[in-house]
């Protein structure tokens, strides 16, 4: 909110003025501030949380780049809340997995947790909530719809957790995490999505046909600094699938993922 002395007749079309005659001041809000406040209310409706201090929510959806272009903004970007939310998220998910899978060893629980809270999973959860429509960021960041946006969405999800924790407490943050992530757990465990594709395909191949997959480089193109490898994955003499990557290891993972689909495993 900004406060300045104005004549009542000095209000323009892009400023909403409320005259407070006894104090001889005018309180005014820019249209951008009103739009942000309206969006905050929409987010509250989506996530089912009404914030006591809206600044936490406003910061949670603010990327650092927005403040570079809006120097008059009076709130912080979301990196501190992301830091806090990351810690809360890890505790909530660890507690959930520990109780849900009492017979699984520590190593497997760690791998399942990593799959549940990785960038792709968090960005997907954030995107399904529609948070992308309300993010405050620079025009340049807004135009980038690639991998960088995934990181921004994932970070915003963690920042939301931090904001909810600060404003509402642990139980509210736990509910938000549970509502948006826990439903993925059974699929991750049943389909072994906590494993990398190469490890997963090897276990599935040994279980189904008692064969250990092998990999062969079929082609490599491009200069040294930008080479693309095509890798084939085989079960004995059967080429099951191909994959590509900027390294042989990346190509093998891609091929293994394609092989799982090809085999219907």
**What structural domains and CATH numbers belong to the chain?**
2-30 (no CATH), 35-190 (1.10.1520.10), 197-263 (3.30.160.20)
Task: Read off the pLDDT band of 150 (50, 70, 90).
Answer: confident
86 is catalytic: yes
**What pLDDT does 69 receive?**
83
What pLDDT is attached to residue 30? 39
Phi, psi of 229 (to 5 degrees): -105, 135
Q: How far apart are CA 158 and CA 142, in angstroms?
A: 19
Res 33: pLDDT? 57
**Could you tell me which of 216, 224, 215, 218 has the C-alpha nearest to residue 246?**
224
- Note if 158 is an active site residue: yes
Identified catalytic residue from 82, 124, 141, 158: 158
Q: What is the pLDDT, as a whole number, of residue 147?
A: 64
pLDDT > 90 in the chain, percent: 66
């Amino acid at each position: 909110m900004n406060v300045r002395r104005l004549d009542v007749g000095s209000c323009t079309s892009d400023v909403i003025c409320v005259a407070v005659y006894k104090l001889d001041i005018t309180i005014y809000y820019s249209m951008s501030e009103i739009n942000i406040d309206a969006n905050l209310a929409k987010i509250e409706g989506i996530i089912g949380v009404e914030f006591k201090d809206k600044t936490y929510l406003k910061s949670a959806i603010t990327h650092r780049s927005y403040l570079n272009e809006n120097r008059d903004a009076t709130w912080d970007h979301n990196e501190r809340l992301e830091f806090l939310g990351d810690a809360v998220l890890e505790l909530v998910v660890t507690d959930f997995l520990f109780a849900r899978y009492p017979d699984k060893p520590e190593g497997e629980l760690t791998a399942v947790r990593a799959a549940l809270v990785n960038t792709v999973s968090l960005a997907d959860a954030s995107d399904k909530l529609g948070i992308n429509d309300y993010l405050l960021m620079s025009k340049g960041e807004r135009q980038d719809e690639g991998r960088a946006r995934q990181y921004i969405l994932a970070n915003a999800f963690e920042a939301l957790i931090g904001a909810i924790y600060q404003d509402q407490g642990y139980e509210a943050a736990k509910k938000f995490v549970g509502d948006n992530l826990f439903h993925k757990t059974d699929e991750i465990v049943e389909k072994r999505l906590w494993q990398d594709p190469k490890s997963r395909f090897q276990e599935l191949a040994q279980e189904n046909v008692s064969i250990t997959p092998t990999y062969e480089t079929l082609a490599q193109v491009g200069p040294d600094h930008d080479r693309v490898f095509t890798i084939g994955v085989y079960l004995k003499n059967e080429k099951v699938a191909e994959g590509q990557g900027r390294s042989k290891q990346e190509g093998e993972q891609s091929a293994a993922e394609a092989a799982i689909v090809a085999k219907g495993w």
